[in-house]
A and B are shown apart, each in its own frame.
Chain A
Amino acid sequence: MKPPPANANVNRLIALSLLLLVFSGTLGLGAVWVRQEISQTANRSRALVARIADVERRLDEVNAEVAAAVNPDALLKQNQAMRLGLGTPQEAQVVRVEGSPELRLAAKRNREIFSLASAPAGDSAPLFRLVTASLR
């Protein structure tokens, strides 16, 4: 068998070297790209954490201000300043209702609905009304 010419071996070697160069270059670039992504993600994450901490700080600030505004002393001062005349109810002003007020109010409401419905009763068909939240 006839051996391949010397030039062909050299060309193959050069081609392989180039391939290796491209491959390792790609690996290197890939590694750089991954590191860049990692650093960007880490910095984004750090920025988010800082932002969350900032929002929490502001929340604390607002909570403290709300607490100061709604403390009983502050409310009493507002009551005086705005001349609202609000005060603790006296026992004589209180009427205690036995039973559940929800059920009592519901019964009252139902009575109103059914009396309205049955009022025009006669030869005509009973009149029904659609009760919605807007009618309450």
Chain B
Amino acid sequence: MSKGFANNRLTLLALGVVACFMAVGVRLVFLHVIDRDELLRFVDKARRQIVIEHARRGTILDSRGNLLATSRSEMTVAVDAWALDEFLQIDKNPAKRARRAAEEQAKRVQLAALLGLPVAEVEKAFVPAMRAIKPEADKRDGAVDGLTKDRWVKLREGVDEPTFAKIAALNVRGLTAERVYRRVYPGNELAAHLIGFVNKEGSAAAGVESKFDLFLKGEDGWIESEKDGARREMAQFRSREIPVRDGHDVVLTIDSVVQHMIENELRGIGAKYQPKFASIIVSDPMTGRILGMANYPSFNLNEYNKAPLDVQRNRAITDQIEPGSVFKIVAAGAALDQGLVTPLTGFDCGNPIVNYKGRDLKLPKEDHEFGRLTVAEIVSHSSNRGAAHLAMLMGEQNFYDYARKFGFGQRTGFQLGGEERGMLEAPKNWDGLTITRMPMGHAVAATPLQMHMAMSTVANGGVLLRPQIIQEIRDASGHVTHSYAPERIGQVLKPSTSALLAQLLHGVVGKDGTGAGFDLPGFEIAAKTGTTQKIIDGRYVTTHHVGSFVGFFPASRPEVVLTVIVDDAQVPGGLNYGRAVAAPAFRRIAEQLVQYLEIKPVSPATRGLLALSGGAR
């Protein structure tokens, strides 16, 4: 071999090596400089992912910790038929491929049984198909033809977790699933008007769900991370993480058992009288905490979409009615509080005409003819003229001021909102007869809750409280973040006056009272019947009434305030008075509450002690 030939060989080899290095260098320049941005985008798209973690909506509980609303996870099962196709294509051996296909088909038969679907429907979903997309977005499969592989064919939604666990165990190729949270209400109709609901889009629509949505919904979290070829997250490459914050739990003041009692009673009222609506409210007079609030008609929260909007209204706060004779507590309480009268002060309730400020005024009619009545009898017999006399004794402005102090004509501040203000005109807007009609509950409108809170004022020593429906809010770990204490709006009556009025109201269920026969021996029911003629076509009619029975017990140691209102009960002869349609329900509920809330009967000794202390607690 000559020396020249060897040198040439070395030169060629060196040139080859240099050329190879240059090729690699050029490729590196392309990869790292020229195509850098595009390649980085591709890598980012292929590897990076943002996983959103949905916050679990908080629960709604009653005061004893019973679940009223909770979230339940459900699976939406879908099919990616192309994934199955690609899996089968991997195997080049036709026999093996056929065996795998047969295995998958056998799994699909079991899948259909678990989903409760016909096998044909499931099989149809597993046939690869294309779907139309916008041409500008059509870059997924190479061909720009306005079609792309359909990788999401929904099979069934609302699959519960245990069933899905069985489905997952089948390991069906091409099956995908998405977890969604659905709101469930274990009590169905229980407290429907208070709880409200979350619709299918996940928006809170009414009640606590809507008003306290900010607390309940929580905050979604997300993780920025990378995924491997099998689309599994590679946790070691997490770059940013915002932790999920589950929603807070809202604890209501209501008691499920009390709520059930009153809803049961409302169902009975509905079946017996087919009223336009009926409301029952139970509360603790000393704290203003609502133990139960229900309306007829009601609806099932799990089937809210079947209920008309009218039925979904919480009529206890949205509907205004004339309070009728229940309003007489204002006239009696105010006159006693100002010391203008005593329970034994007498008034002539037989004379239909009275002279007031130099004018002869016609007094309202009575249900029965009365002669001279004491204040105690005016309350127990529910004398319209007697109430008018008490109001006239005070004067328009004075009477109006007391009515305002009792909470009429202004919102109670109910925490769920949506309540009506009621109607109470200032004296300057009154006509000449208003001073004789308003004391009997005409020319004034109130919501059932306003009437309830006014009676509560008499029960608790003369203090108007804000009704409480929310007890507390707890975070996801159970710590109390907000607590709602009783809220005092104002002192309406002196404690001694309220105690005195309570005893007079106990007379309503006495022998000659309008609520005779509805007392519970030993439990001193103090209440007021109310019957208001309804206004139809601008005139009061005698066949349509709103019957009410509002009271508390025991009169000398009030523990519960209870309101029953029945609007336009269908009773033969139009005798749909408060005594007939509301008082029996009041008594039945009271009997149950005595046992459930362990209310002890009032002993004579207790009565004497309270009388000595003037009823102040």
Contact = CB atoms under 8 A, between A and B. Distances in A.
B186 A64 contact: yes
B592 A64 contact: no
Contact of A46 (B56, B233, B595): B233
A118 interface: no
A58 B71 CA distance: 11
Contacts of A90: 591, 595
B600 A88 contact: no
Contact of B257 (A35, A45, A72, A96): A72
Contact of B73 (A61, A89, A96): A61
B256 A91 contact: no
Contacts of B71: 60
A32 interface: no
Contacts of A58: 161
Contacts of A43: 234-236
A11 interface: no
A91 B236 contact: no
Contacts of B66: 67, 70-71
Given A57-B73, A71-B66, A39 B187 contact: no
Given A43-B236, A57-B73, A64-B67, A71 B186 contact: yes
Interface string B211-254: 00000000000000000000001111010000000000000000
B235 A39 contact: yes
A48 B240 CA distance: 19
B528 to A, nearest CB: 23
Contact of A73 (B184, B233, B260, B520): B260
The secondary structure that dominates the B interface is mixed
Given A39-B234, A39-B236, A94-B595, A71 B187 contact: yes
B184 A72 contact: no
Contacts of B601: 96
Interface string B576-597: 0000000000000001101110
Nearest to A44: B235
B160 interface: yes
A17 interface: no
Given A73-B188, A91-B520, A67 B595 contact: no
Given A60-B73, A63-B70, A68 B186 contact: yes
A1 B275 CA distance: 124
Contacts of B234: 39, 42-43
Contacts of B521: 91
B522 interface: yes
B72 interface: yes
Interface string A70-111: 111100000000000000111100101000000000000000
A64 B595 CA distance: 28
B577 to A, nearest CB: 27
Interface residues of B, number: 35
Nearest to A42: B235
A57 B161 contact: yes
Nearest to B190: A71
Contacts of B591: 88, 90-91
A94 B233 CA distance: 65
Nearest to B591: A91
B594 A61 contact: no
A43 B257 CA distance: 47
Interface residues of A, number: 27
Contacts of B595: 88-91, 94
A70 B257 CA distance: 11
A67 B415 CA distance: 25
A20 interface: no
Interface in A16-30: none
A31 interface: no
A66 B175 CA distance: 31
Interface in A31-54: 35, 38-39, 42-43, 45-46
Nearest to B246: A56
Interface string B137-163: 000000000000000000000001110
A61 B72 contact: yes
B236 A61 contact: no
Contacts of A67: 66-68, 70, 186-187
A46 B235 contact: yes
A55 to B, nearest CB: 11
Contacts of B190: 71-73
A5 B73 CA distance: 81
B252 to A, nearest CB: 14
Nearest to B523: A91
Contacts of B67: 63-64, 66-67
A61 B160 contact: yes
Contacts of B236: 35, 38-39, 42-43
Contacts of B184: 64
Interface centre among A39, A61, A63, A72, by most B CB within 10 Å?
A72
Contacts of A63: 67, 70
A91 B522 CA distance: 10
Interface in B182-207: 184, 186-190
Interface of A: 35, 38-39, 42-43, 45-46, 56-58, 60-61, 63-64, 66-68, 70-73, 88-91, 94, 96
14 contacts: A42-B234, A42-B235, A42-B238, A61-B73, A64-B70, A64-B72, A64-B186, A66-B67, A67-B70, A68-B187, A72-B190, A72-B260, A73-B190, A89-B595
The 9 closest A-B pairs by CB, nearest first: A42-B235, A67-B67, A67-B186, A72-B260, A39-B236, A68-B186, A46-B235, A42-B236, A71-B187
Given A60-B72, A66-B67, A71-B187, 10 more contacts: A43-B236, A46-B233, A46-B235, A60-B70, A61-B161, A61-B162, A72-B256, A72-B257, A91-B520, A94-B595
Interface of B: 56, 66-68, 70-73, 160-162, 184, 186-190, 233-236, 238, 256-257, 260, 520-522, 591-592, 594-596, 600-601
